Structure 1
Amino acid sequence: MPRLLSPLVLSLIGLILFGDGAFIHAKAWLAQVLLERAFDQSVATGRMVKPWSWADTWPVARVEVKRIGASTIVLEGASGQALAFGPGHIHQTVDAGERGIAVYAGHRDTHFRFVRNVAIGDVIDVTRADGKHFRYRADSSAVVRFDASGIDPTARDVELVLTTCWPFDAVTSGPERYVLHATLIGTGE
């Protein structure tokens, strides 16, 4: 009897763990569908639309790098809850397309995984939730300490920064951040 019970218990535990993992992936997929829908509704209606009724954030922009086929929805704020679903717009920074530096931060292993493949010279398209479109060109990158980003809050040009943890393949978090800087090259569409 004990020999039969051990495999059954282990199988049940394995099934529960598999189900839990599948649920997390299904929830992440559904969240992305809801974020895309909320962003599209925001653009269409001109007002903020939450992706689900209890959300504490909402889509503010879509970032695309067409050369590498990357696209992600940026959320308002960079709280842990927001960053679980997508990159966040840092509150103390301007909106994309405004004079100053718009800063979007995201996790290196999920929604900002593509940042490692953005090359200097790549075009980064940003569409805000109000439908305005801005085109930036990646012009520099740096690895910095989290408390010494080098981002100038008094910048007078129209700039964009995408930032994530460094190194890209690390398993745990560390004190360094990868900062990709881009400058506005066009508007419209």
Structure 2
Amino acid sequence: MQRTISPAKHWIVIVLTSVLGCGLLIQGGYMQAKAHFAQFLIERAFEKTLVDNQPHKPWSWADTHPVAKMRVLQQQTDGLQPLGSDLYVLAGASGRNLAFGPGLMLGGAALGDQGHMIIAGHRDSHFMRLQYVKVGDIIELYSTAGERVLYQITATQVVHETDIEVLAPTPDSHLTLITCYPFDQLSGNAEYRYIVEAKPLEAKPLYS
């Protein structure tokens, strides 16, 4: 015999499902608000550093600080246009730092120094845009010293995670952006890395 759900139980199920759904929406909204507020604090810390040339933590318990502002520029019919919003690069590419923005690998060169500068980011957030870049696009970096440096993308490639040659030191100035690959596979333990290589074009003062 087929059992039927009483009207009272039916309404209980509806209420519980609604409460659960509202809870998930609130949690998602909270996480989004938290992420946006974190970006505001990081931006404010970067602007403070521009003023006094001292590193500033975005929040008191942070173990990092912003070291550069970055944007990707693509050639459009009306000139160069940014691909997405500005990104703030944090010192160090630890998992905790990458949750809030791309991270500068401390084993490589710093912005403005000779050598290989490496910036890592998550494929499902800040570096999702890398899937749309192409050779010839421009990467614009603003240092905390008020210097604007332009890099032009020279190559993109996919490598296995064991291929550390792409991170090797270089005698000349070189920029590498790195994220997990493929972009549409968001599960953990990705075996491949998407590499964007760029060479410097010029350096200009931020304020003139």
Instruction: Give identity over the alignment, percent.
Output: 35
Aligned to 2:171: 156
TM-score normalised according to structure 1 size: 0.94
For 1:167 and 1:187, the matched residues in 2 are separated by 33
Equivalent in the alignment of 2:31: 24
8 Å CA contact 2:45, 2:57 repeated in 1 = yes
Q: CA deviation at 1:97?
A: 2.2
1:180 and 2:196 matched? yes
- Structure 2 SS opposite 1:28: helix
Q: List per-residue Cα deviations over 1:129-170 (Å, max 9, x = no partner).
A: 222221111101110011204225331111100111111111
CA distance in 2 between counterparts of 1:69 and 1:94 reads: 25
139, 142, 148: which is aligned to 1:133?
148
> 4+ runs of 1 displaced by more than 4 Å?
none
* 2:76 counterpart of 1:69: no
Matched, 1:118 2:125: no
Question: What is the TM-score of this pair, normalised by structure 2?
Answer: 0.86
Does the residue aligned with 2:13 lie in a helix, a strand or coil? helix
1:107 corresponds to which of 122, 129, 144 = 122
Between structure 1 and structure 2, the one with the greater Rg is 2
The one-letter code matched in structure 2 to 1:125 is: E
Question: Structure 2: how far apart are the matches of 1:116 and 1:11?
Answer: 37
Could you say if the C-alpha distance between residues 152 and 108 of structure 1 is closer, same or farther in structure 2, counting changes exceeding 3 Å?
closer
Provide the aligned length of Structure 1 versus Structure 2.
189
Match of 1:11 in 2: 18
Q: Distance in 2 between matches of 1:60 and 1:69?
A: 20
Structure 1 residues 152, 36: closer, same or farther in 2, change over 3 A?
A: closer
**1:73-84 equivalent positions in 2, closer than 5 A:** 73-84=88-99
Where structure 1 has 5 or more consecutive residues not aligned to the other structure, the ranges are none
SS in 2 for 1:56: coil
Q: What is the CA distance between 1:11 and its match in structure 2?
A: 1.2
Which stretch shows the higher mean deviation, 9-18 or 67-76? 67-76
Question: CA RMSD, aligned part only?
Answer: 1.4
Once residues 21 and 161 of structure 1 are traced to their aligned partners in structure 2, the CA distance between those partners, rounded to angstroms, is 33
Q: List runs of 5+ in structure 2 lacking aligned partners.
A: 1-7, 75-80
**Which residue number in structure 1 is paired with residue 60 of structure 2?**
53
Which structure's relative contact order is higher, taking Cα pairs within 8 Å and 6+ residues apart?
Answer: 1
1 CA distance for matches of 2:127 and 2:44? 20
Given candidates 90, 93, 117, the residue that maps to 2:108 is 93
Name the stretch that deviates more: 123-132 or 179-188: 123-132
Q: Distance in 1 between matches of 2:167 and 2:40?
A: 35
Structure 2: distance between partners of 1:90 and 1:147: 17
